[in-house]
Amino acid sequence: MYLALLELKAARGRFLLMGCVVLLVAALVGIVSGFTTGLGDDTVSALRRLPATHLAFSPDARTDQFARSLVPAETLAGWQQRPGVQATPLGVTITRGTTDRHAEVDLAAFGVEPGSFLDPGAEDGQRLGGDGQLVISRKLAEEGVAIGDTLTVDRLGIALKVTGITGRASYGHVPAGYVTTATWQAIRFTTPGASGPAAGLPTQYSAIALRAAPSALAGADDQLGTRTVPVADAYAAAPGYTGERVTMTSIQFFLYLIAPLVVGAFFGVWTVQRQPELALLRAMGASRRRLLGHTLVQAATVVLGGTLAGAALASAVGLLVGTEVPFSLPGLALTATMATVALAALAGAALTLRRVATADPMTMLGAGR
């Protein structure tokens, strides 16, 4: 241990350089992890907020379900009559509107029944009470929409009175707003540019939100003509969610591969350069176990120091970007990410242990002469 620390001090330039490399890799992994989580939240946080266990779509909608699926009111009634199942309609549509104070915003309109288990309530103002009302997410409030404003849906002329503000929620990177299912049907089915309100709008929904044990759902799809999936499986229906996850996860995976290769290469070269010193220590009676411990102390010091510094840098980046970009790096996720980086880097360093263990003391006793 003492000798390991002395070597760290004597060759501090080399070890500092290696520590900086670990720092940058750890910071990059942490930043990528933060963007992965942030982008995921910005894409499906409104779906994650749904207090449902499953969603029932029309059977013909296999992809982009919220855009393609239409479930009739008769199917909803069938689900509501099943024992052990709570069912309520859900509509999801992305649209755009302008407030009476000329704030232009994109809006993911979520159609829910007031008082149902999907009703988001309101942190400020009043909860959703009737048709023509709108409860906005916190992000819409940050974009300039306020309680009391009237938001008019572009090209449709549908006026929505903002009555309350709920927590942060987005769908497909678009802030969510909650309206009644009747209002959602007007937004979804009204012909753009129509001179007056449409009559006889279809009583259909994007999906039916369910609260039920899996056993209560057995055979229901065949009877009711739906396709039921857990809420988490419906995240892929959000625009861009799958592509973003695959891209960011691939980047993380390659960074996890880079860490052991870089650290392993450094300690491999360092071990080769130290072969005479290792042989001398063996000739002086040092055990293989002591030499292995000596090398692991050096590797752990460099890797852990670099990883902790990288974690601090990633956290600083998160504080710097703030809410300007979708970035989220909770403490638990940061700890897990940095632990993975450290383990991967130490695994790379472990690849050099064989050379340390096979250092030949006869080298220093003249076996080569």
pLDDT tens for each residue of 107-131: 999 999 999 999 999 999 999 999 9
pLDDT at res. 263: 85
Residue 268 confidence class, pLDDT cut points 50, 70, 90? confident
Three-state SS string over 84-100 comes to CCEEEEEEEEEEEEEEC
pLDDT at res. 200: 74
Q: Kindly tell me if the per-residue pLDDT of 288 is higher than 70.
A: no
| Residue predicted with more confidence, 318 or 194 | 318
Alpha carbon 207 to chain centroid, angstroms? 24
Distances (CA, A) of 191 to 155, 198, 199, 201: 9, 8, 11, 10
* Average pLDDT of the residues of the chain: 87
> Which tokens is 215 given?
């056993």
> Which tokens is 143 given?
């974009």
pLDDT at res. 195: 55
What DSSP state is assigned to residue 191? P
Q: Kindly tell me if the per-residue pLDDT of 248 is higher than 50.
A: yes
Q: What is the mean pLDDT of residues 62-66?
A: 87
> Which tokens is 249 given?
């996860």
**Element housing 257 (H / E):** helix 241-273
* Structure confidence by residue, pLDDT tens digits, 3-51: 556 666 666 777 788 888 889 999 999 999 999 999 989 999 999 999 9
Q: What is the mean pLDDT of residues 323-329?
A: 84
Q: Decide: pTM greater than 0.85.
A: no
What DSSP state is assigned to residue 130? S
| Residue predicted with more confidence, 306 or 298 | 306
Identify the top-confidence range among 215-229, 311-325, 353-367: 215-229
Q: Kindly tell me if the per-residue pLDDT of 183 is higher than 90.
A: yes
Q: Are 122 and 136 in contact (CB under 8 A)?
A: no
What DSSP state is assigned to residue 287? -
Q: Tell me how far apart the alpha carbons of residues 156 and 188 are, in angstroms, rounded to a whole number.
A: 10
pLDDT at res. 369: 45
**Element housing 246 (H / E):** helix 241-273
Lowest mean pLDDT among 36-40, 165-169, 176-180, 296-300: 296-300
